[in-house]
């Protein structure tokens, strides 16, 4: 057939119009089905089936338009229609009206979908279509010793999903807040977490059998996107998190690279008993209180898991991370340091592309070596392998803060906050950063957010009050906060030392003594890097009120303890600073300066913009207590304008601290000190 004649025939027979009309009607059907499926809980496969049927019908519709003609008598084969009686032109005009009507209806459906259906459960603020929160799984296991399986499997699934770049995955700390909530409002949770999708599930273990039931829900509409149940042996379940991660990624239309596919499919261990020990250890490691006893229990359980499977790379990495935390938070000893390095290197030897192993090595360089140039590449690798890991973003932010890159640190902490919006630690770090920058209004705003996230935290309440003290130069908020804390609530002695500190600021030494006497504790959390003996605080009271004999007795009683702390960890700058301050209170001036200068050498500001200034705060205070104003005041003038030189203790340097705290009395009447305060007050007023 001549091509020109063929296309003219297509036009004459209204095939073009039929194609356009069919496509418009089919598209309208798909839009209606997609819009109404959440309302009537129509499964997604049914919508897909409609699309397939409509696509299959398209060539059939064209064939009908070619072969048949619509006449007053109905559909008649084209060959049987007498040309003089053909109404194709009129039929074409009718088809034009049909197409226009369908298109108008399509616009109406689009507007309804945009402003009605999506408005009821629109994407939560900050959420994207591929964002997901994995809520704590319900534990249906009767035996208490198996209860950890539910949290462990949920954490493993979350970790696997966090390795997929095309997803946004909310971190564990934020989702664990919903663990005890049985009647969950998923739309509210989605909005709160910034997640468009929610994964819920339950775990039942009986002996060697495991049943896992999961359902993926669109948080905007409460529509069930996907659901599945898995019956496995515990051994077979070791690959389950990878299977689930791929299924969920498919349901959310996320793309996995070949590398991501290989990573999420990787089986952590072939030993079911080692895996069970690993899950138990993980619960202790992730305890929010960072207690030494929890870390040491995790340490023991990880070691048992590794004994059962020496090739368990993930357990080696987590063990190294746990030991890094012990070193950083509790025991900065060389023995822990060497164990951290050995564990991280072994994990990387076993699995070079294991993100958790790069985190462990990054922590080794960051926390034990303070070698930021080597820590950052490891953490950057970990971030590439686990792009949704909020902790990695926070660690990089912390390093950039110590490097004095304050703006970048704030941006990174805020990025961590989008992945972990309910984590008080992220907000706490933002508070610390704004406090270090002396941006009191910003710190105060974030403290209020912190109160919402941690309404029962005594430490948060006290921290908020100290921000108010630094901002307003008044102890009223501190007193009100401390008075409202019930008797007997005093974790690590922070309430007692808070009361002691307020009374010392107000020069009410009798009340300060009574606050210490009421506490049954003999040691408190006050000075950095070590606990503070009660006798040290009592010595401060005696010194401030001019009772040098009693002050000397108390300080001498704790001197051996302070010296032993330095001997135990000679590279811990804070311990040298604490000892130097004690020596200055004892009148041992040369030794005090030696220790203070050693602290500054160990943590110079050039290498640590966060803690380095605090070491100089100690040194400035030591000079002041030694009555060496020529050395103290120039240092104070600089530190008063230096980010990082602020803390909630008496060596802190802010306008309020210098104006009110007793420790600065030896230089208070120096004209240079008075001028410095006056200039600071003028700057604050502006």
Q: 3-state DSSP call for residue 354? A: coil
- Reply yes or no on whether the pLDDT at 119 is more than 50: no
Q: What pLDDT, on a 0 to 100 scale, did the predictor assign at position 290?
A: 73
What's the pLDDT tens digit per position in 199-216?
Answer: 998 888 887 888 889 999
DSSP run (H or E) holding 141: none
- Reply yes or no on whether the pLDDT at 303 is more than 80: yes
Report the percent of the chain where pLDDT is more than 70: 80
What is the residue-wise DSSP string for 585-601?
A: HHT-HHHHHHHHHHHHH
Q: What angle do CA 272, 276, 281 make, to 5 degrees?
A: 145
**Higher-confidence position of 37 and 654:** 654
Enter the tokens of residue 578: 């604490």
Q: CA 142, CA 149: separation in Å to the nearest integer?
A: 12
- Reply yes or no on whether the pLDDT at 87 is more than 90: no
- Checking DSSP bridges between strand 74-77 and strand 131-134, what pairing results, if any? unpaired
> With the CA atoms of 107, 110, 111 and 117 taken in that order, what torsion angle do they form, in degrees rounded to the nearest 10?
160
Enter the tokens of residue 672: 């240079």
Q: 3-state DSSP call for residue 334? A: helix
Report the percent of the chain where pLDDT is more than 90: 54
What's the pLDDT tens digit per position in 395-415?
Answer: 999 999 999 999 999 999 999
What's the pLDDT tens digit per position in 44-83?
Answer: 556 666 776 767 776 766 666 555 555 554 455 655 545 4
Segment 96-111 shows an average pLDDT of: 58
Question: What is the pTM (predicted TM-score) of this model?
Answer: 0.74
Q: CA 569, CA 577: separation in Å to the nearest integer?
A: 13
* pLDDT band at residue 578 under the 50/70/90 scheme: very high
What's the pLDDT tens digit per position in 581-635?
Answer: 999 999 999 999 999 999 999 999 999 999 999 999 999 999 999 999 999 999 9
- Nearest residue to 324 (alpha-carbon basis) of 350, 298, 354, 352: 298
Q: CA 443, CA 325: separation in Å to the nearest integer?
A: 26
Average pLDDT, rounded, for the chain: 85
Which CATH fold would you assign to the domain 131-255? Rossmann fold (3.40.50)
Segment 214-234 shows an average pLDDT of: 86
Assign residue 554 a region (left: φ > 0; alpha: ψ between -120 and 50; beta: otherwise). Answer: alpha
Q: CA 611, CA 372: separation in Å to the nearest integer?
A: 14
Q: 3-state DSSP call for residue 256? A: coil
- Checking DSSP bridges between strand 168-169 and strand 138-139, what pairing results, if any? unpaired
Neighbours of 337 (CB within 10 A): 18
Helices (H), 186-239: 186-193
Report yes or no: 327 and 340 within 8 Å, Cβ to Cβ.
yes
Instruction: Write out 57-68 in H/E/C secondary structure.
Output: HHHHHHHHHHHE
List Cβ neighbours of 529 (8 Å cut-off, separation of 6 or more).
Answer: 332, 565, 569, 572, 574, 575, 578
- Reply yes or no on whether the pLDDT at 26 is more than 80: no
CA atoms within 13 A on the CB side of 255: 1
Q: What pLDDT, on a 0 to 100 scale, did the predictor assign at position 186?
A: 87
What's the pLDDT tens digit per position in 263-280?
Answer: 888 889 999 899 989 999
Q: CA 588, CA 625: separation in Å to the nearest integer?
A: 10
Segment 274-295 shows an average pLDDT of: 86
- Reply yes or no on whether the pLDDT at 658 is more than 90: yes
What's the pLDDT tens digit per position in 347-378?
Answer: 999 999 999 999 999 999 999 999 999 999 99
Enter the tokens of residue 395: 């660690």
Q: CA 470, CA 282: separation in Å to the nearest integer?
A: 39
As a CATH number, domain 490-685 is 1.25.40
Q: What are phi and psi of 60, to 5 degrees?
A: -65, -40
């Amino acid at each position: 057939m001549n091509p020109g004649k063929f296309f003219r025939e297509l036009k004459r027979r209204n095939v073009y119009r039929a194609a356009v009309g069919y496509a418009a009607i089919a598209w309208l059907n798909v839009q209606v089905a997609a819009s109404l499926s959440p309302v009537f809980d129509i499964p997604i496969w049914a919508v897909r089936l409609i699309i397939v049927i409509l696509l299959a019908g398209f060539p059939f519709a064209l064939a009908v338009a070619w072969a048949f003609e619509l006449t007053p008598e109905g559909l008649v084969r084209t060959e049987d229609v007498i040309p003089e009686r053909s109404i194709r032109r009129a039929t074409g005009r009718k088809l034009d009206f049909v197409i226009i009507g369908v298109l108008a209806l399509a616009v109406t459906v689009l507007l309804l979908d945009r402003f009605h259906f999506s408005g009821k459960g629109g994407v939560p603020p900050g959420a994207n279509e591929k964002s997901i929160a994995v809520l704590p799984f319900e534990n249906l296991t009767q035996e208490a010793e198996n209860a950890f399986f539910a949290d462990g499997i949920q954490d493993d699934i979350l970790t696997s999903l966090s390795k997929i770049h095309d997803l946004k995955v909310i971190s564990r700390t934020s989702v664990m807040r919903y663990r005890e909530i049985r009647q969950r409002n998923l739309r509210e949770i989605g909005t709160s977490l910034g997640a468009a999708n929610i994964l819920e599930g339950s775990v039942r273990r009986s002996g060697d059998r495991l049943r896992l039931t999961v359902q993926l829900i669109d948080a905007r509409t409460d529509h069930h996107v996907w659901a599945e149940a898995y019956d496995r042996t515990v051994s077979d379940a070791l690959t389950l998190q990878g299977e689930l991660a791929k299924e969920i990624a498919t349901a959310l239309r996320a793309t996995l690279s070949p590398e991501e596919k290989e990573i999420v499919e990787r089986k952590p261990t072939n030993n079911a008993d080692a895996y069970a020990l690993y899950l138990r250890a993980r619960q202790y490691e992730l305890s929010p209180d960072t207690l030494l006893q929890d870390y040491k229990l995790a340490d023991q359980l990880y070691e048992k898991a590794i004994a059962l499977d020496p090739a368990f790379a993930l357990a080696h990495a987590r063990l190294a991370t746990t030991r890094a935390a012990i070193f950083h938070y509790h025991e900065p000893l060389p023995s822990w340091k060497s164990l951290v390095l050995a564990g991280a290197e072994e994990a990387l030897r076993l699995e070079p592309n294991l993100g958790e192993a790069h985190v462990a090595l990054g922590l080794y360089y960051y926390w034990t070596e303070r070698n930021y140039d080597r820590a950052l590449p490891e953490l950057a690798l970990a971030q590439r392998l686990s792009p949704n890991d909020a902790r990695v973003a926070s660690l990089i932010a912390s390093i950039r803060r110590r490097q004095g890159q304050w703006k970048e640190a704030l941006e990174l902490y805020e990025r961590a906050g989008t992945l972990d919006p309910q984590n008080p630690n992220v907000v706490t770090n933002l508070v610390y950063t704004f406090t270090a920058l002396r941006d009191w209004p910003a710190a105060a705003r974030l403290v209020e957010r912190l109160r919402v996230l941690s309404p029962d935290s005594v430490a948060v309440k006290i921290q908020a009050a100290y921000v108010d003290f630094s901002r307003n130069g008044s102890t009223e908020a501190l007193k009100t906060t401390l008075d409202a804390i019930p008797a007997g609530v005093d974790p690590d002695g922070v309430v007692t030392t808070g009361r002691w500190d307020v009374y010392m600021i107000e020069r009410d030494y009798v009340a300060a003594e009574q606050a210490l006497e009421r506490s049954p504790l003999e040691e408190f959390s006050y000075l950095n890097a070590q606990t503070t003996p009660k006798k040290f605080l009592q010595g401060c009271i005696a010194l401030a009120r001019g009772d040098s004999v009693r002050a000397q007795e108390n300080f001498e009683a704790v001197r051996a303890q302070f010296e032993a702390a330095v001997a135990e960890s000679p590279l811990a700058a804070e311990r040298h600073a604490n000892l130097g301050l004690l020596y200055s209170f004892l009148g041992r001036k040369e030794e005090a300066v030696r220790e203070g200068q050693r602290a500054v050498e160990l943590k110079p500001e050039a290498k640590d913009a966060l803690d380095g200034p605090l070491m100089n705060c100690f040194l400035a205070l030591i000079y002041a207590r030694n009555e060496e104003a020529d050395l103290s005041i120039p240092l104070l003038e600089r530190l008063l304008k230096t980010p990082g030189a602020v803390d909630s203790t008496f060596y802190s340097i802010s306008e309020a601290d210098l104006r009110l705290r007793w420790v600065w009395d030896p230089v208070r009447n120096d004209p240079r000190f008075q001028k410095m305060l006056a200039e600071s007050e003028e700057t604050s007023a502006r």
